[in-house]
Chain A
């Protein structure tokens, strides 16, 4: 399958600081990427849609000033958790789908591929 790389895999930061998480599609272009958050033993909660060349769109209840998203190129999206608090500690996961016409990985639609996740701990 396609490869989506997420970095870092783990990060510990102090309260009040900002943390940047990168999501890269390594072997395909993605005009759209998605950011999810997952608490222990819970499902993935969609936070926002990252759109290359335009503003991200956020799900209801997600603070856009808290979670800054930048989609600078067709292969890179970043999520910055600003002024981090302990309650921001979570597992953050990105996904990316091949742009239309690039789906070649066996899925029937433009299937989403996920990064390995970033474990954020705010102390």
Chain B
């Protein structure tokens, strides 16, 4: 399958700071990406998605940036809160195929 990897396995931030989680992907044919949040013992939770015809998409407190030239994704979380502490995965697939391949994950620790 496709290879999707992350630069940082763990990230610690202070409550209220902004967080940036990065992800690299290797399949240039991938054109749809999702960021998921996974809390301990639970399934992944959808956060935000982006298609390859965009380079930025914003949600509530979160922004996803896509750089297709270098095959890189990032997730920005504004004003990080303790409830944001979790493992974050990026996942990729090809348009109209719902099969997702996941990166290795980044654990976000938010310090109060």
Residues on A close to B: CB < 8 A?
1, 4, 6, 32, 34, 36, 42-46, 49, 59-60, 91, 93, 95, 97, 100, 107-117, 119
Contacts and interface: CB of A to CB of B under 8 A. Distances in A.
Nearest to A30: B98
* Interface residue tally on B, bucketed by range: 20 to 34
A115 B51 CA distance: 24
Contacts, number: 70
B95 A109 contact: yes
B100 A46 contact: yes
Given A113-B46, A114-B43, A49 B103 contact: no
B44 A93 contact: yes
Nearest to B90: A43
Interface string B90-102: 0100011011111
Contacts of A115: 43
Nearest to B51: A108
B89 interface: yes
B32 A49 contact: no
B112 interface: no
Interface in B25-82: 32, 34, 36, 41-46, 49-51
Contact of B49 (A6, A59, A100, A111): A111
A10 to B, nearest CB: 9
B98 A110 contact: yes
B43 A93 contact: yes
Given A43-B105, A119-B41, A111 B99 contact: no
Contact of A112 (B1, B51, B98, B104): B98
Pick the most buried of B41, B45, B98, B100: most chain A CB atoms within 10 A of its CB: B98
Contacts of B43: 4, 6, 93, 114-117
A110 B99 CA distance: 10
20 contacts: A34-B99, A34-B100, A42-B104, A43-B102, A49-B99, A60-B1, A95-B100, A100-B96, A107-B34, A107-B46, A108-B32, A109-B32, A109-B51, A110-B96, A111-B34, A111-B49, A112-B34, A112-B91, A113-B46, A116-B43
